[in-house]
Structure 1
Amino acid sequence: MPRDSHQNDHSPLAGLKVVDFSTLLPGPLASLMLVEAGADVLKVERPGQGDDMRAFEPRFGSEGAIFALLNRGKRSISLDLKNPTDAEKARVLAIEADILIEQFRPGVMARLGLSHEVLSRDNPRLIYCSITGYGQTGPKAQRAAHDLNYVAEAGMLSLVTGSDGAPTLPPIPIADIGGGSYPAFMNIMLALYARMTTGRGCHLDISMTDNVLPFQYWALAGGFVGQWADPNGGLITGGSPRYAIYRTKDGRFLAAAPLEDKFWRNLCEVLGIGEDADHARVAAAVEQLDSDALMARLEGKDVCCSLVATLEEALADEHVHARGLLNRGVTNDSGLIPALPLALAENFRHPTLNAPAPMLQCARAERQVAKAGENE
């Protein structure tokens, strides 16, 4: 986060320099976790336009709210990497850095003279993290794709379908975050640990498609022994009444996950049904009750059941506030919004609570000129 370099900072990554060439979601979220742990992250952006996320809706003042959330606390520099002078500036930044993050297609950084092979000659301690859809090697390495493509090709969309047999659209970018951002952060931490012993960095090949396969552990376990799952047939993909979503009388939904026998017995007792109940029997019992009445009955019963909340309801939950998940903020000229609640233990996070996302270099210069004009 922007701070005095002389500040007494006990964050675990304090003093580490990160150069981030990535845009959109996977790389920026990974480097956001690095900056929250104390690293100095410099975001390299295209002159004039910057990261595409800057233009995305909704707006937070003059900038995209998504960009603000993902780039809180970072610095920014505008460089045209196809320009030899700017490419040389980028090279200098990289050889002075501890960590480099990029998510171009394989070969792009090499054509720009910024490959791991080239940079590691001058900076053998550099940890060079490449995030791509399919990895640095293999027949799909150069294919253009997005999150939906990665989870489709990894088999995930085949596991749960609608009543018409069509796969359902995931509500979140599973591969970008779970297959890209988190594995990148995790492997960067491992590389930093290894560097303490070897004194050398390495090249990390992070493939988002590869990394969503473990999420399907249940289906894979069956498949590996010759029992490939049918759509909606697995224990956690619709095949059991113990892991399902049921509609209440007032049109809300109960997420029921009483997998273990003790939880299942408790739910069946509350609903007044036998333990041999199937989906239809559970659904019929739940549909007899309004959501408030149902949750009142379930309160304190140890049944692993929850009412499906809207995102607004989730953020208003007293538990979220008790945990302090929204205590940090992103600031700009228009005000303050909560920062992303990140998967970092509080004792490893930088103490600064509120920080801005970086302005694009050219925009900053224009504001400085305008301000100077106002003062004349």
Structure 2
Amino acid sequence: MSVILQSFTVKFEYKTYFTENVFSIDNELFKQVIAEDGSQGKRKLFFIIDDGVAQAHPYLPTQIEQYCHQYHAVLDLRGEIWIVQGGEAVKNSDIEVKKILQAVNDYGICRHSYIVAIGGGAVLDMVGFAAAIAHRGVKHIRIPTTVLSQNDSGVGVKNGINTFGKKNFTGTFKPPQAVINDASFLTTLHIRDWRAGISEAIKVALIKDKTFFDQIVADVPLLNHRNMEAMRKLIYRCAEMHIQHIAGGDPFEMGSSRPLDFGHWSAHKLEQLTHHQIKHGEAVAIGIALDTTYSFLKGLLTEAEWKQVIHLLKDLGFEVYHPALDLVVHGEHLIIKGLQEFREHLGGELTIMLLERLGKGLEVHSIDTETMIKAINYLSSL
């Protein structure tokens, strides 16, 4: 037997910027991000905007056109600025992905060009996937416009669409060239979208940082009154912790451990069972409540700690229970099937993050379904 062994390392690096009014003529950040990539001359740009963002900011396409004209020595806007459907529906087929690939071909977008996505997490996921498979990888810039995408999904390295009725079944790990968090987009969010992203901050605080958790508790009145300073502080810390985790040893999730998915196994299933009538962040809040209650029932958390988490979620306006948690078909709780689907998505053994105390997660490799159903009953009674 003969063997040729090859081993190599590829360094990935990207920055997450925080700004306001990114396409204001006097804000040179976007131009500088492009100019600092080491290339020479103009860079071709293809923009895609979430339709919800376009409706809330109707002058955005014109602003982008004027901005690119102002800095035409670097920015070469190609084709029309596209508007695509926002929300999870845009990920439920490959229609938009194929349209983007056609545009890449038609507009002459190459591996030294940029696809710029402006929108919520679902649009960023879909566009990022298209960018990753076009020419085996076109440079991609994310401009997240929701709390959830600015503090979690938009600052990560994952892209994908839903297939076979399963969330993110088809996707890639492809870091963006840069992420630009523009706080001005948050001012027009619906209250559900403002609130939904806070659940991801609660999640990461519960498993990693008790001080951050306490800060969120203290800031509840400010967050409920849409105080921008409190929200920007929350987004920055949450994004910082997610980015730190990516560099922690398994950025492309080669193993079975995914600690930042605390509360997510049931959240993903809830989204599917409700046909995405509840938003991802709302489903995550319920998933956090469920796994925190399970942790309490298994003797890992005190009753006082359990109540503190439940009270925080409810004080922020989250529901901690949905009737879909109790759906049963042929004697099987459908939500429990989410455990198996979660394991299949990662491969290997089942790995679920629980809480051993506030601010400290604990990974387990089995779930007592009887106790989990009891936890569902607890939440139902609330």
TM-score range, shorter chain: under 0.3
Greater gyration radius: 1
Q: Structure 2 length as normaliser, TM-score? A: 0.26
Q: Which has the higher contact order (CA 8 A, sep 6+)?
A: 1
Report the TM-score when normalising by structure 1. 0.26
Higher helix share: 2
